Amino acid sequence: MLRGIIASDRLRAFVVGASPVLGIMFWHITHRSSWLPIVLLAALRIGAAEPAPVRSDYLELLNGDALRGVLLGVDGLEGAQWRHPAAENPFTVRFTGLSRVRFAPPNTLPESHPANCQVTLNNEDMLSGDLVGLEGDRLEFSTWFAGKLSIPRTSLHSLVPTSTSLKVIYEGPTSQEGWVSRQNPGVIRAPGAAQPGEVWRFADNSFYSSMFGFIGRDFKLPAVSNLEFDLAWRGFLSFAFVFHSDTLQGYGGNAYVLQFNYRNVFLYRRTQIAAMTTIGQAELPDLTSRSGMRVSLRTNKEQKTFALYIDGQLIRQWVDPQAFVSQGNGIVLMQHGQNPVRFSRFRISEWDGRLAEPSLSDTNQVNDVVHLANNDKVDGRVKNIRDGKITLTTSFSDLEIPINRVTQVTFAPVKPSKDATSEREVRLFFREYGSITLNLDRWTDQQVTGTSPNYGRLKLASDAFSQLYFNPAITRRAPVEELQNNGLPVE
């Protein structure tokens, strides 16, 4: 019987075995030889390789270490049950060490779910669903993923009426099919097949690069679009996202270019005649101290407007004073430096053209504020919402405002709650829009159960989510993000 304690500078794992063929799996994840600190509650086999899981999820720990495999379940007291292709049996990772789980993208585009409203809470939860109404101190809200929710008014930050369900055009990458690069112009290779000197490589539903070069693909971009992606890097970031391009080459042609460079982001207009001209820029002072972000670029072709969001926060809005640069639908990724970069969770969807307005930190507001489609604002107290109308009590009278004339309602701020954070608190990110926070009881492939002071006891559909973010109140190391071996994952 094998019993022992294995240690390195970042690994201390107690392993108990019961057979001479049992062994210990080490997961090497950085070029500095760091090791994954997990508690192995099942033995691993050193024999023939196990077949790969049906999907490939990604587990990250609070210290930045990472592991691939499949999440089988989560218990709020015990932790996450994880399966790895090299393991004979699943093992448990303690809840207190979990940072996040990122699920593999679905093989097909997720079903669109009609919704007429988006609600933001004071704890930064963002939900999409159907507004049933507001009476007294409760907002009634209907969702496909959790049924009907009754939310305390004191928890509300804002609500935004939406007129249509936003269609998802693309979500991936799930393979390199359809993407072309300098190394394989017009040639579709088998996923994961490498070539000498390859600049962009596909693995684990991501593109990786650590040298100068480009990769691109044509899409049917909507006239009003939201282009979202995750970007992770090491060292200084020098990366360009080219969109609405009429060529898939790295240079030439007509396109817009969103360039991240050191601690700034620039939006350029590129034409064959006038080369590159600057539309605008914004400073990102913390870019040099971080290693990942979620980017959302929202474009309206008719109005020639662009809005850049990073990690859900509006960074800058720009307007192109000239005609829209091209009718192209190309997306091109350009790596300008030699530091490793990973591009993942790319999503193309329609956008309703609305921009987020007041931030959650706005302390000057005293009353509820109703923002109208003509850019007027009316303040007072929202008395109720029913039958397609908002009744607003103002200093001079009660106003009835048709909800189709409203772009946003921002509720009067309340004093933040000082309730202690639960050790089982998890933020769940939706595949379509937003997030929800709860004290997790259990996660399975079919259902998530938990409790929340904002919603009470919850039962949620598991397939609604793309990420689970554990221990949100704990400071964590910058994620390793599997960026080693010149930016490519270990195979």
Q: In 3-state terms, what secondary structure has residue 172?
A: strand
Among residues 375, 410, 445, the one where a domain terminates is 410
Q: Identify the domain containing residue 455 by its residue range.
A: 426-466
Same-domain check for residues 39 and 145: no
Same-domain check for residues 386 and 243: no
Neighbours of 198 (CB within 10 A): 20
DSSP 470-489: E-TTS--PPP-TT-BTTTB-
Tens of each residue's pLDDT in the chain, 491 residues: 333 333 333 333 322 333 333 333 333 333 333 444 444 433 333 334 444 445 688 898 888 888 889 999 999 888 999 998 888 899 999 998 899 898 877 766 556 677 788 899 998 898 988 999 999 899 999 998 999 999 999 999 999 887 655 678 898 888 888 998 865 444 444 444 445 456 888 887 889 988 888 899 999 899 999 999 988 888 888 899 999 999 887 677 899 999 998 889 999 999 987 778 999 999 987 777 777 888 999 999 999 999 998 877 789 999 999 999 988 999 999 988 778 899 988 989 888 777 655 444 455 678 899 988 777 889 999 999 999 899 999 988 899 999 888 888 999 988 766 665 677 899 998 887 789 999 999 999 999 999 999 999 999 999 889 889 998 887 665 444 444 444 433 33
Same-domain check for residues 10 and 72: yes
Q: Is residue 483 part of a domain?
A: no
Backbone angles phi, psi at 277, to 5 degrees: -125, 145
Q: Is residue 485 part of a domain?
A: no
Residue carrying structure tokens 């964590």: 476
Long-range contacts of 370-377 (CB under 8 A, 24+ apart): 370/401, 370/406, 370/408, 370/409, 371/406, 371/407, 371/408, 371/409, 371/410, 372/401, 372/405, 372/406, 372/407, 373/405, 373/406, 373/407, 374/405
Which residues, including other chains, have CB under 8 Å from residue 269's CB and lie 6 or more apart? 256, 257, 276, 277, 278, 279, 320, 322, 325
Q: Is residue 405 part of a domain?
A: yes
Q: In 3-state terms, what secondary structure has residue 106?
A: coil
**How high is the pLDDT of residue 151?**
95
**How high is the pLDDT of residue 448?**
95
Q: Is residue 484 part of a domain?
A: no
Q: Is residue 198 part of a domain?
A: yes
Q: Is residue 406 part of a domain?
A: yes
CA neighbor of 309 nearest in space, from 325, 288, 295, 330: 295
Cross-strand pairs, 207: 202, 343
Element (H, E) at 381: strand 377-386
Q: Is residue 486 part of a domain?
A: no
> CB–CB of 25/86 below 8 Å?
yes
**How high is the pLDDT of residue 356?**
56
Same-domain check for residues 177 and 284: yes
Same-domain check for residues 248 and 272: yes
Cα–Cα distances in Å, from 16 out to 5, 182, 309, 375, 479? Answer: 9, 50, 48, 66, 29
CATH number at residue 30: 2.30.30
Same-domain check for residues 320 and 180: yes
The number of domains in the chain is 4
CATH number at residue 189: 2.60.120.560
Same-domain check for residues 250 and 392: no
**How high is the pLDDT of residue 373?**
77
Q: How far apart are CA 297 and CA 275, in angstroms?
A: 22
Looking only at the bridges linking them, the beta strands covering 168-172 and 206-209 are unpaired
**How high is the pLDDT of residue 42?**
39
- Asked if residue 173 has a cis previous peptide bond (ω within 30° of 0), the answer is yes
Q: How far apart are CA 40 and CA 13, in angstroms?
A: 7
Which residues, including other chains, have CB under 8 Å from residue 478's CB and lie 6 or more apart? 64, 290, 291, 292
Residue 359 DSSP code: -
Same-domain check for residues 332 and 436: no
**How high is the pLDDT of residue 20?**
31
Element (H, E) at 101: strand 98-102
**How high is the pLDDT of residue 45?**
39
Q: How far apart are CA 253 and CA 270, in angstroms?
A: 7
Gap between the terminal Cα atoms of the chain: 31
Same-domain check for residues 158 and 201: no
Same-domain check for residues 233 and 200: yes
Cα-Cα-Cα-Cα dihedral sign, residues 353, 358, 361, 366? negative
Same-domain check for residues 140 and 91: no
Buried b (16+ CB within 10 A) or exposed e, 152-187: ebebbbbbbbbeeebebbbbbbeebeebbbbbbeee
Q: Is residue 491 part of a domain?
A: no
**How high is the pLDDT of residue 182?**
65
Which residues, including other chains, have CB under 8 Å from residue 476's CB and lie 6 or more apart? 62, 63, 64, 99
Same-domain check for residues 158 and 179: no
> CB–CB of 441/449 below 8 Å?
yes
